[in-house]
Amino acid sequence: MNMKTILAYLLVSAFLVTGCSQQGGNPNGAGGAGGAGGAGGYGSNNGYGYGNGGNYGAGNGSSQYTPADLRNPNSVLAQRVIYFDLDSSNIRPEYQSVLDAHSSLLAAYPNLKVRLEGHADERGSREYNVALSERRGYSVLDYMQIKGVSSNSMEVIGYGEEIPAVFGHNESAWGKNRRVEIKYAGE
């Protein structure tokens, strides 16, 4: 576990203590976070609890998700990567539900920030791929902006083919590398 991960855990558990004490005190527990996500009461939240923490700001009550759901491995918010077709920056229909969930959370908690990190497979020209991967990032940004997320909550970086998720010179590897990763600040 690296330093950032530890910090993220500490941060989130601090919210759990202030905002929903029944779930606090379990800094390592994915199980504890799962419980928070499963608690239906937060679905109709009016911004209590997290607003007091001050870091995420008050929710506007419009989302069925809360920042705690980011730690829930069973939440749709656990899906942070979407994949693209060759030479394409179009959002594939199967990823709309994932982006809708993140959009809902981000729209409700405007102090949450994400980096949309675009990537390309190894084929084609290296610098062109940086631009192509950034275009993928902006296609996610545009989608989420339409869904109500402020552009101030999002930042796009294109990494081109420089950081492959997996090594390999075949369609299986290429498909896993043509992607946008949603990175929440502080994680």
Partner 1 sequence: MKKKLLATLLFSACVLLPTVTPAEELHIRIDSDAAADGTRIVVAPFGPLAKVIEADLQRSGRFALIDPARAAGMSPDALRAAGAQYAVVGTQSSSLDFQLIDVGSGQPVGSFRIPAHPNQRRMAHKAADLVFEKITGVKGAFDTRIAYVSASGPARGQTFQLIVSDADGFNPRTIASSRQPVMSPSWSPDGRQLAYVSYESGRPMVYVQDLASGGKRAVSDPGKSTTSPAWSPDGRSLAVSVANRGDYDIFVVGANGGGMRQITNSRGIDTEPQWAGANTIVFTSDRGGQPQLYQTTASGGGESRMSFNGSYNAGASIAGNNVAMVRQNGGSSNITVMNAASHEERVVSRGTQDDSPAIAPNGTMVLYATDGGSRGSLAVASDNGKAHQILYSQAGDVRDPAWSPYLD
> Using the rule CB under 8 A, which residue among 124, 148, 175, 186 binds partner 1?
124
> Applying CB under 8 A, which part among 7-15, 32-40, 52-60, 160-168 lies near partner 1?
160-168
Contact 94, 164 (CB under 8 A): no
Q: Which lies closer to partner 1 via its Cβ, residue 10 or residue 86?
A: 86
Asked if 160 is part of the footprint of partner 1 (rule: CB under 8 A), the reply reads yes
Report the C-alpha gap between 174 and 170 in whole angstroms: 6
Q: What are phi and psi of 25, to 5 degrees?
A: 75, 20
Q: What are phi and psi of 127, to 5 degrees?
A: -70, -40
Could you tell me the smallest distance in angstroms from the CB atom of residue 69 to partner 1? 24
> Using the rule CB under 8 A, which residue among 5, 85, 88, 128 binds partner 1?
128
Contact 88, 129 (CB under 8 A): no
> Using the rule CB under 8 A, which residue among 14, 96, 131, 148 binds partner 1?
131
Could you tell me the smallest distance in angstroms from the CB atom of residue 180 to partner 1? 12
Could you tell me the smallest distance in angstroms from the CB atom of residue 45 to partner 1? 32
Q: Which of residues 43-102 bind partner 1 (CB under 8 A)?
A: none
- Give the total of residues touching partner 1 (CB under 8 A): 27
Report the C-alpha gap between 20 and 2 in whole angstroms: 26
> Applying CB under 8 A, which part among 3-11, 54-62, 99-107, 150-158 lies near partner 1?
150-158
Q: Which of residues 103-122 bind partner 1 (CB under 8 A)?
A: 122
Report CA-CA distances (Å) from 153 to 12, 90, 137, 179.
19, 21, 14, 20
> Using the rule CB under 8 A, which residue among 13, 105, 134, 180 binds partner 1?
134
Other Cβ atoms less than 10 A from the Cβ of 128: the count is 12
Report the C-alpha gap between 53 and 6 in whole angstroms: 18
Enumerate the β-bridge partners of residue 181.
81, 117
**Length reported for the chain:** 187
By CB under 8 A, name the binding residues for partner 1: 122-128, 130-132, 134-135, 137-139, 156-160, 162-167, 169
